[in-house]
Structure 1
Amino acid sequence: MEELAKLRQLLVAGNTREAIALVDELEEMSKKAIIRNIESYLVLLLAHLIKYQAEQRITNFWLASIVNAVVGIKKLNLRDKNSYYIKKEDDWNDYLEEAIELASLEAAKEAFGGIYSVEQLSTKFDRDRVIKMGFQLLQLTYQEETKKLPQIIQEFLSDRPT
C-alpha cells in the first residue's frame, strides 16, 4: 500500500504532523470501506425481506441470506467492544432509506421468478414494514451474541406475519 510506505517515510524523517494527518486519512478510508461493506449486506438483507413479504413465504436460501447479512453487519459494525461505526438508533434511518431502493431492484430480479418490474413488485410489499423489520433485525446486532443470531432471526421471522 502506497500510503503505508509514505507513512514510514514521514515517521523516519520525524515529520509527525504529516504522519498523523496521513493516519487520519487512512482511518477515514478504512471506515468508508467498512461502511460500504455494511451497505452491501443491508441491501441483501432488505432484498430478501422484500421477497419474503411480497411472496408471503421464505425459502431456506432467503433465511440463510438474511442470517448471513445480519451476522455480517454485526461483525463489520463492531469497532471495538463498546463502539460501533453505525450507532443503534437514528444512524440507521438514512442507510435503510437508501438501501431499500437498491434492494427493490435486487428483489425484482428474483421475486416471482423475476416477472415483475420494480414498480409492479412495489405494489406487493409494504416498504415501511420492510424497513421496520430490517431495523428490528439490526437492533438484534447490538443486543445478542453472534452465535445466537441464527436461531433468534429464524424465530423472529416465523413469528411475524408477512
Structure 2
Amino acid sequence: MEELFELKDLLLAGHIDDALLLVEELTEMSKDDKLNKIFSFGIIVLLHLIKRQAEKRSTRSWETSITNAIRQIQRTNKRRKAKENYLKPAELQETLEDAYSSALRQASLEAFEGKYEAEELGKMVNKKAIIDETMDLIYS
C-alpha cells in the first residue's frame, strides 16, 4: 500500500520516469506473488497424486484438495484483462517439477503412515505420470 502512495506522490511531482520504475517493481512483485501461489497449490496437487499413486487408493478429502488446488492454479495463472496466462504450459510444467520434491517429502510423512523416506516413496511412483496428470487436470 505504501508503494501506491509513493507512486501518487511521484506522479503529482511530475517524476514520470521514477513513477514508471515503481510501476515495474509493483508489476514484478505482483507476478512473483502469483508464481508463489501457483507453486504452493502445485505442491498440494502433487502431494495427493503421489499418495494416491503410491497407496493405490484415494479419499474424498484428497480428491477435494486436488480439485480445489487445480481451480486455484487455473484462477491464479489467468491474466484477466490480457486473456492469457502468466505461465505458459512449459513454464507451468517446470514449476511443477520444482515443486515435486517438496510434495514428495510431504507425501512421505503422510503416505503409509510415514513409514517410508521420500527417496523410498519416490521409487514407488512415476514422477512423469504424476506431473503429466497434473498438467492434464489444469488444462482440462
1:84 aligns with 2:63: no
Within-5 A mapping of 1:1-162: 1-80=1-80, 82-87=83-88, 89-140=89-140
- Aligned partner letter, 2:113: G
Using the TM superposition, give the Cα deviation of residue 93 of structure 1 relative to its aligned residue in structure 2, in angstroms. 2.5
Using the TM superposition, give the Cα deviation of residue 83 of structure 1 relative to its aligned residue in structure 2, in angstroms. 1.3
- Aligned partner letter, 2:18: E
- Aligned partner letter, 2:102: L
RMSD of equivalent CA atoms = 1.1
2:77 & 2:47 partners in 1: Cα distance? 20
Using the TM superposition, give the Cα deviation of residue 132 of structure 1 relative to its aligned residue in structure 2, in angstroms. 1.2
Runs of 4+ in 1 over 3 A off after TM superposition: none
2:96 & 2:73 partners in 1: Cα distance? 13
2:36 & 2:47 partners in 1: Cα distance? 17
Percent of paired sites with the same residue: 40
Cα deviations by residue, 1:30-53 (Å, 9 ceiling, x for unpaired): 010011001100011001000010
Using the TM superposition, give the Cα deviation of residue 85 of structure 1 relative to its aligned residue in structure 2, in angstroms. 0.6
- 3-state secondary structure, aligned to 1:123: helix
Cα deviations by residue, 1:1-54 (Å, 9 ceiling, x for unpaired): 221121111011011111111011101100100110011000110010000100
- Aligned partner letter, 1:30: S
Q: TM-score, normalised by structure 2?
A: 0.94
Moved more, 42-51 or 78-87: 78-87
- Aligned partner letter, 2:87: I
